[in-house]
Chain A
Amino acid sequence: MFEFCADPSILPTGQWFACYLTSGTHMAFYRSFLVVMLLLAITAPAALAMGILGALALRSDFAPVNLLGRGYVNLVRGVPDIVFFLFVPIALGQGIEWVLHQINCPDWDQPIRQGNDFIVCREAKMPPVGASAWTRNVYGFSMAIIAFALVFGAFVANTLYGAMRAVPQAQIETAESYGMTRAQAFRRIVLPQMWVFALPGLSNIWQILVKSTPLLFLLGIQDAVFWARELGGAKTSLYTYPHPDWRVWYFMVLLIFYLFLTWGSERSFGWLTRRLSRGQATAEGERLRRGAA
C-alpha cells in the first residue's frame, strides 16, 4: 500500500501499523464486513417476501395452503434455527444434485447413498466440476441466503399475519361496502396499513437477523469471523508481520461493529415508526396529529 512497506521489520511502530493494517489480508478482512452487509441487504427483502407469502398462506381459506403455511411457520419456529442453518444448505445441495442426477444420468444403476458417501454422476455435481473459486463462493453464499430467508421468513410470516389482523376490521368492511372486492380491499386498505402494526415485530426480527450473520462462518464462507480468527492468531517471524495472539482485539472490533449496527438500526426503526404512524388510528398517530395542530 505505502512505499515504505518494503521491509516491515525495520519500521517504527506507527509506520509498521500503517503497513500492517493495509496488507492484502486486511483488505480482505474489511471486505468481509461488506459481505455481512450484502447478506443483510439480500436476506432482508428475501425474508420479507417469504414472510408475505407465508402470511398470505396463513390467511388463506383454502385448507391445503393454510396447512402448508401453518406447517412451515411452526416447524421453523419450533426447532432451533442453528439446526436449520446447517441443515438447509446440505440438504438443499444434496437435493439439487439428486434432481440433476435423475435428469442427466437416468441410466445410472448404482445407489446414490453408498455407506457414508453421497455419489452422483459427474454431470450432476453442483457447483459443476472444474468451476472457478468465484462460482463456488457464489453458490455457497446463495445457499446461506436461502437458509436465512427460510428461517427468517417464518418469523416474518408470523409477525405479518398478526399485523394484518390488527388492521381495524371496520375499515375493511367499509371498503367492501364501497364495492371493492376482497383482493382490492386487501391491496388498498390492509397492505398499506399493516406495516405500522408489524414494525415492532419486524424491528425485533431485524435485530436477530443482524446478530445471526456471524453464523455465516459455520457455512464455510470467509466472513468477518473467519478473517478475525485468521489474522488475529499468533504469527511467528516467518510471516512478514509477526505478532503475538491478537484475536481478542480483532473480536473486539467485531463486537463494536455489531453494537454499532444494532444501535443504528434501533434508531432507524424509531424514526420509521414515527414516520409510519402519521395518520394512523393509533395512540402514536393521534399524538403526532395533536402535535401538528
Chain B
Amino acid sequence: MRTCAESFQGYVLRPLGRDYGERLLPRGLDITFCDQLFLIGGGLLWNIYFAGLAILFGFFLATGVALMKFSANPWLWRPASAFVFFFRGSPLFIQFFFFYSAFILLPRTGIDIPLGFTTLTVQTSALTTAQVGGLFVLILNTTAYSAELFYGALRSVPKGDLEAADAYGMGGLTKFRRVVWPNMLRLAWPSYTNEAIFLTHSTTLVFLSAFPARQQSGEAFYYARYFVDQTFNPFVAYPIVAAYFIMLTLIIIGLFGLVNRRLNRHLPQEKRQRIRFRPQYIR
C-alpha cells in the first residue's frame, strides 16, 4: 500500500499526462483514499484550465455578440440571435458530440488557405483533442449564454446615463467605453457570476464520452467516474468531487464578488447589487 505522501507525489500531477507521475492509474484493490483525493484534486487543474480560458475568451466574444444582437441592423442582429438561439437551445452534451464528430472529419494534415502571395495552413488535428476542441465548444457555449445576459443588461442601461454622455459630447467608442460598457457589466454581473459557476460545473461534461482523454489525463469528474467503475463504491469518489466543486464555486463567488464591488463602487451602499448564488447546472 502506498502512503499518503507517495500517492501525492505519484498522482497529483498525473492528470497532465503520464510523464508527470506514475504511468498507470491505481487499479482495483490497490486504490487508497489518498489516491482518490489527490488524483481527483489534480484533475481540477483541467477544470480550472477549461473554465478559466472559456470565461476569458467568452467574455470578450459575448460583449461583441451582445452588441451585435442589440444593433438595429438586421445583418448584425439576425446572425447574433441565431448563434445565441443555437447554443442556448441545445444541450451542451450534444454540442460536444456534434463538434467532435465534425472535427474528426477535417483533414489531418490541415487546411490550406491560399492568400495569393502565400498559403496559410490551418492546423486542424489539434481540434480533435479535448484541450483545444473541447475548449472551443465551451467558449462558443459560454459566449452564447453570456451574450444573452449582456444583451439583457444593454437594454436596461439607464437612459439618464446615456443622455448625460450625449450632453458631455461623448460619442462612439468613448461613450461605449465610459458609460455603456461599465453599466452593462454592472447590471449583468450577478447573473454573469452564476454563468461562470455553471460553466465551471459543465467542464465535467468535456470528457464524458465525446472527446477522448489521451493517456488517461482527464478532469476531476473523469477520475471520479474511473474510481467508481474500479471500486463499485459511489460513496467515496463522488462526495470528494462534489466537495472540490463546492470549494471551486466558493472561490468563483469570492473573485467575482471583488469585481462586483469595483463595478458598483460609485453607487450608494443600499443600491448596490448583491450576488446571489442560483445554481442551475445542466446546459
Contact = CB atoms under 8 A, between A and B. Distances in A.
Say whether A and B bind each other. yes
B209 A217 contact: yes
A102 to B, nearest CB: 18
A258 B94 contact: yes
B234 to A, nearest CB: 4
A82 B280 contact: no
Contact of A255 (B94, B228, B233, B279): B94
Contacts, number: 119
Interface string A227-238: 011001000000
Given A251-B97, A252-B98, A208 B282 contact: yes
Given A214-B91, A251-B97, A78 B280 contact: no
A245 B94 CA distance: 17
A201 to B, nearest CB: 10
A217 B29 CA distance: 28
B275 to A, nearest CB: 15
A282 to B, nearest CB: 20
Contact of B201 (A80, A116, A212): A80
Contacts of A118: 232-233
A80 B247 CA distance: 12
Given A208-B280, A259-B86, A248 B228 contact: no
Contact of B234 (A87, A215, A263): A87
Nearest to B245: A80
B94 A251 contact: yes
A254 interface: yes
B233 A83 contact: no
A52 B223 CA distance: 36
Q: Is the interface of A mostly helix, strand, loop or mixed?
A: helix
A135 to B, nearest CB: 22
A82 B205 contact: yes
Given A82-B204, A258-B91, A91 B234 contact: yes
B61 interface: no
Interface string A114-134: 011110000000000000000
A113 to B, nearest CB: 7
Contacts of A83: 204, 221, 224, 238, 241-242, 245
Nearest to A249: B101
B44 to A, nearest CB: 13
Interface in A23-72: none
Interface in A202-241: 204-205, 208, 210-215, 217-218, 225, 228-229, 232
B71 interface: no
Q: How large is the interface on B (under 10, 10 to 19, 20 to 34, 35 or more residues)?
A: 35 or more
A262 interface: yes
Interface string A63-104: 000000000000001111111001100110010000000000
B256 interface: no
B246 interface: yes
A244 to B, nearest CB: 9
A120 to B, nearest CB: 12
B259 interface: no
A86 B208 CA distance: 12
A155 B90 CA distance: 20
Interface string B146-177: 00000000000000000000000000000000
A78 B246 contact: yes
B238 A248 contact: no
Given A113-B233, A252-B98, A255-B94, A155 B105 contact: no
30 contacts: A78-B246, A78-B249, A79-B242, A80-B221, A82-B201, A82-B205, A82-B221, A83-B204, A83-B224, A86-B228, A90-B234, A91-B234, A113-B233, A117-B232, A204-B280, A208-B280, A208-B282, A208-B283, A211-B282, A214-B94, A215-B282, A217-B93, A217-B209, A225-B97, A251-B101, A254-B97, A255-B86, A255-B90, A259-B90, A262-B89
Interface of B: 28-29, 31, 85-86, 88-95, 97-98, 101-102, 104-105, 201, 204-205, 208-209, 221, 224-225, 228, 230-235, 238, 241-242, 245-246, 249, 279-283
Given A214-B93, A263-B85, 5 more contacts: A81-B282, A211-B283, A247-B101, A251-B101, A258-B91
4 closest A-B pairs (Cβ-Cβ)? Answer: A247-B101, A212-B282, A251-B98, A211-B91
